[in-house]
Each structure stands twice: as structure tokens, then as C-alpha cells.
């Protein structure tokens, strides 16, 4: 109770952040997920299973409601890992990140950073009294060759929710949150003119929405910015704009749910994207922790108080 009241006090009255995310813990998780004997891509199912087991084991430390969502592709079984809090509530929020990589690379930013956010959120959500259910979902098969297919882990999950008419308030996709640069011209955009509005330094985190974003996406964006944990910019644009739907939230949009992505802008900033150079040594763990703090505080506001 004391921890909860402290967070609420700081959130509402100081306008600043109560830092709850441990950078040492982040580094340990990144090490476990990225420094492996094989790469966690779709061809190395055994390695994907090792990572899925690691995620599940950590989730079980903080929740009694943890399970695999298994499905078959070309004779192989792949697994989403789902951890739930506030299971007594009907309406739920989905917070997801994919744990697979594209090809033979460590994928520290893409997307071990997002998975580590889920692991840290699990530890922070333990014991909280919520008025909405929160499902933390670690997805498989986000990357090519299954991107934009029905075999994406998030597509399987979103379809299950839709088919079973589950009350989903909204979905947050955590996609690459660990790479920051303060140098000029370190940030690119799909349209050059955007640098006039957002600047040319890659020193911020972005909340990416489509037009007609829905209530959840609006509220999450408002509450995340209010935490003031990190320099934050919002971007809303047409769904066809390159990059705006390049992650798991696209499958929730396709099912009619309010969803958004939080990201360091991926390849528009991080030139290690889908390269062997995407290693944990390139990440800014301190600012990554601040992103996770902001996510946690925004979720707490959405699920512990009347909105």
C-alpha cells in the first residue's frame, strides 16, 4: 500500500517519475536473451523455446496466471507467452512485444528491449489492485518470413480475442525502446519535412498512432506524457505511411481494437536494425529504464483509478 501511495503522490503532485526499473536487472535480462549459442529466429525453434521458457519462468515469479499459447506452422510448434494480472476483471489491456529475431543476429533493440520491458512490468504489477485485467504477451514470429501473415504470434492472439468476443480496452506494442542518440542528424523520418516538427536528434521515445486511434490509445498517450519520465513525442498519421504499422499492433488494428506502438523509431534512427551489430552494447539502458517507468505509471493510472 505504501509503495502504491508513493507512486500516486509523485505521479499527480510532483509531475515527475518514481524510478522503479532497475538497470542492473535490465542488463541481466538482455544478456540472457541475446547472448545465446543460437539465434532466436523461426528456423531455430529449440532456441525460441529456450527463450519462451525463460520468459515464462520469470513471469511465474510474479503471477499465478501464466501460460503458453501454442500453434503450429509448417509442422513446428511456436509459442506466445502470456502473463496476466487482475484476472477477476472482464475488460483487459494487452501489452505485447515479440521475442523472435530476423535472421542470424542478437536483436538487442529489436526486440529484446521490448521483451525486457514485459519482464520488468511483471515485477512492478505484482500485488497491484487493478480495475482492468492486464495481459503481458511475449509474441513469437513477428519477423519475416511471417510478418503480415496469419502466423504472426500477435495475429494468432488478436484473432483469439476477437473470436471469443473478449472485452479488450486496448493494446500497447513495445517495439524497440533502447536506442537513443543526442547528436544532430541522428534521426530520420519517412518524410523529410517531419524533421521540422520533431527535430533531427534521436533523443526521444515516440508514441505512434493512426488516425481514429480510439479511447485507449488517446488515454495511454496522455498519461505516459504526464509521467515526464523521458522526452516523449507523439506521432499520428495514416496507416499507409511506411513504418507506422511495422509491429504487432497492426493485428489489433485489423481486429478493430484501439492500439498504439511505443518505439525509438526503429530503422529511422537505429542503423543496426536487422544487422549483426544490434547488440546490447549499443543500447542506452538508463533511458530504456525510464521508458519502462513511464509505461508502468501510465498503466497504473489506466487500471487503478476512474477514467
Q: Return the biggest CA–CA distance within the chain.
A: 55
Mean pLDDT of 288-298: 98
Q: Is 67 helix (H, G, I), strand (E, B) or coil?
A: strand
Grid coordinates belonging to 87: 484476472
Angle at CA of residue 300, ends 298 and 305, nearest 5°? 110
140-191 per-position pLDDT tens digit: 999 999 999 999 999 999 999 999 999 999 999 999 999 999 999 999 998 8
Instruction: Say whether pLDDT at 208 is over 60.
Output: yes
CATH topology for 20-304 is: Aminopeptidase (3.40.630)
Residue 125, C-alpha cell as written in the block: 504489477
Domain ranges of the chain: 20-304
The pLDDT tens digits of the residues spanning 22-63 come to: 999 999 999 999 999 999 999 999 999 999 999 999 999 999
Q: Are 259 and 249 in contact (CB under 8 A)?
A: yes
Residue that wins the pLDDT comparison between 193 and 59: 59
The answer to whether residues 153 and 141 touch, using CB atoms and an 8 Å cutoff, is yes
Q: What is the pLDDT of residues 151-161, one digit of tens each?
A: 999 999 999 99
DSSP for residue 110: I
At 227, the pLDDT band (50, 70, 90 cuts) reads very high
Amino acid at each position: 500500500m505504501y509503495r502504491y501511495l508513493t507512486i500516486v503522490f509523485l505521479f499527480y503532485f510532483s509531475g515527475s517519475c518514481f524510478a522503479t526499473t532497475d538497470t542492473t536487472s535490465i542488463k541481466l535480462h538482455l544478456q540472457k536473451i541475446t547472448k545465446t549459442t543460437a539465434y532466436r529466429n523461426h528456423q531455430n525453434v529449440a532456441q525460441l523455446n529456450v527463450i519462451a521458457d525463460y520468459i515464462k519462468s520469470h513471469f511465474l515469479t510474479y503471477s499465478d496466471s501464466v501460460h503458453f499459447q501454442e500453434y503450429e506452422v509448417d509442422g513446428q510448434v511456436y509459442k506466445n507467452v502470456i502473463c496476466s494480472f487482475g484476472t477477476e476483471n472482464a475488460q483487459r489491456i494487452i501489452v505485447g512485444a515479440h521475442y523472435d529475431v530476423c535472421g542470424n543476429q542478437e536483436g538487442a533493440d529489436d526486440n529484446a528491449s521490448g521483451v525486457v520491458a514485459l519482464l520488468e512490468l511483471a515485477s512492478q504489477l505484482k500485488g497491484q489492485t487493478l480495475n482492468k485485467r492486464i495481459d503481458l504477451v511475449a509474441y513469437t514470429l513477428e519477423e519475416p518470413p511471417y510478418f503480415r501473415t496469419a502466423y504472426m504470434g500477435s495475429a494468432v492472439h488478436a484473432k483469439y480475442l476477437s473470436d471469443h468476443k473478449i472485452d479488450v480496452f486496448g493494446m500497447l506494442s513495445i517495439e524497440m525502446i533502447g536506442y537513443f542518440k543526442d547528436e544532430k542528424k541522428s534521426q530520420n523520418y519517412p518524410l523529410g519535412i517531419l524533421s521540422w516538427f520533431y527535430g533531427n536528434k534521436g533523443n526521444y521515445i515516440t508514441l505512434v498512432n493512426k488516425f481514429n486511434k480510439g479511447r485507449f490509445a488517446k488515454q495511454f498517450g496522455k498519461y505516459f506524457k504526464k509521467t515526464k519520465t523521458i522526452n516523449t513525442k507523439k506521432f499520428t498519421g495514416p496507416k499507409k505511411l511506411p513504418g507506422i504499422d511495422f509491429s504487432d499492433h497492426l493485428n489489433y488494428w485489423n481486429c478493430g481494437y484501439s492500439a498504439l506502438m511505443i518505439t525509438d523509431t526503429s530503422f529511422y534512427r537505429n542503423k543496426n536494425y536487422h544487422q549483426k551489430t544490434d547488440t546490447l552494447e549499443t543500447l542506452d539502458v538508463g533511458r530504456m529504464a525510464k521508458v519502462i517507468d513511464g509505461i508502468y505509471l501510465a498503466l497504473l493510472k489506466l487500471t487503478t483509478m476512474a477514467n
